[in-house]
Amino acid sequence: MPRARVREITGKGATVAAEIIKRGLEEGVLESPSPKGPLRPAFPAAVQEFSFPQLFMDLPVEPDGSGAS
């Protein structure tokens, strides 16, 4: 997404939006191919459990009841 979109989404001014982008890049929850390039979300291991609780749990497989094995 274009960096200017952060300002639109948050409703904050340019300075606060730039700080949000900076912190997101520092924390690894945002990525960009260049210092002024577009942003994309990132999901580092440190935030996966918070963002996607129990997504990677080993759960037993439940039969679907269709009779197929």
Supply the pTM of this predicted model: 0.68
Apex 46 CA angle, 2 and 36, nearest 5: 20
Three-class secondary structure of residue 47 per DSSP = helix
Say which residues have a Cβ less than 8 Å from residue 46's Cβ, sequence separation at least 6.
28
Asked whether 42 and 31 are in contact (CB, 8 A), the reply is yes
Three-class secondary structure of residue 30 per DSSP = strand
Residue-wise pLDDT for 11-68, tens only, equals 999 999 999 999 999 999 999 999 999 999 998 877 777 777 877 666 666 666 555 5
Counting every residue written for the chain, the total comes to 69
Hey, which residues does 30 pair with through a beta bridge?
41
Domain coordinates of the chain in residue numbers? Answer: 4-51
- pLDDT at residue 55, as a whole number: 74
